[in-house]
């Protein structure tokens, strides 16, 4: 499985309130509408920069820290981001993301720059830019691949009728 897209670069400790501000927590319940406010407080109009199904977020350490609100990974996915690559993820954000079918990769992102076109080979655990490997990561296990291909845990359970791997 290979994912390809354009990089949007962020730093360390991107918290869930920066991903989607808590001020919208109860006032906007439609995730597609909420996605218009993605990263609003740290990168205004970010939703206008995204190329749907061809955009990748690259970040540093501790991406998704803070609140356990599921809106944070949901709005990233609903905005059309195909993957988030970061040095590390907050544990709850990581689990929530895979549960909804948002692809995450833990890898060194130092060599990834804003607007780079990259490809990520999920079977080989390699990130390439200009056909050259720039980072490696632990390849996904079968369960993670099935979650993403199924578009989240509910579809996975419906398709596989349980937790068999």
Other CB atoms within 10 Å distance of the CB of residue 36: 16
Instruction: Name the domain count of the chain.
Output: 1
pLDDT tens for the chain, 165 residues: list them: 899 999 999 999 999 999 999 888 788 888 899 999 999 999 999 999 998 899 999 999 999 999 877 889 999 999 999 999 999 999 999 999 999 999 999 999 999 999 999 999 999 999 999 989 999 999 988 888 888 898 888 888 888 776 555
User: Which burial class, exposed, middle or buried, applies to 59 when counting CB atoms under 10 A from its CB (0-12, 13-18, 19+)?
Assistant: buried
Residues sharing a CB contact under 8 Å with residue 9, sequence separation 6 or more, in sequence order: 58, 59, 109, 112, 113, 114
**Is 147 a domain residue?**
no
**Is 13 a domain residue?**
yes
CATH number of the domain that residue 107 is part of: 3.20.19.10
Domain limits for position 44: 2-138
């Amino acid at each position: 499985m290979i994912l390809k897209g354009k990089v949007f670069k962020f730093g360390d400790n991107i918290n869930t309130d920066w991903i989607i501000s808590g001020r919208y927590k109860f006032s906007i319940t439609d995730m597609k509408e909420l996605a218009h406010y993605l990263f609003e407080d740290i990168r205004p109009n970010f939703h206008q920069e995204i190329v749907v199904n061809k955009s990748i977020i690259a970040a540093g350490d501790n991406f998704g820290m803070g609140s356990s609100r599921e809106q944070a990974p949901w709005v990233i996915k609903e905005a059309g981001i195909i993957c988030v690559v970061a040095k590390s993820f907050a544990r709850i954000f990581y689990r929530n993301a895979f549960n909804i079918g948002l692809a995450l990769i833990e890898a060194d992102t130092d060599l990834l720059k804003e607007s780079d076109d990259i490809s990520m080979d999920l079977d080989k655990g390699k990130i390439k830019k200009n056909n050259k490997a720039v980072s490696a990561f632990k390849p996904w296990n079968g369960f993670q691949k099935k979650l993403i291909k199924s578009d989240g845990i509910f579809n996975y359970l419906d398709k596989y009728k349980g937790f068999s791997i």
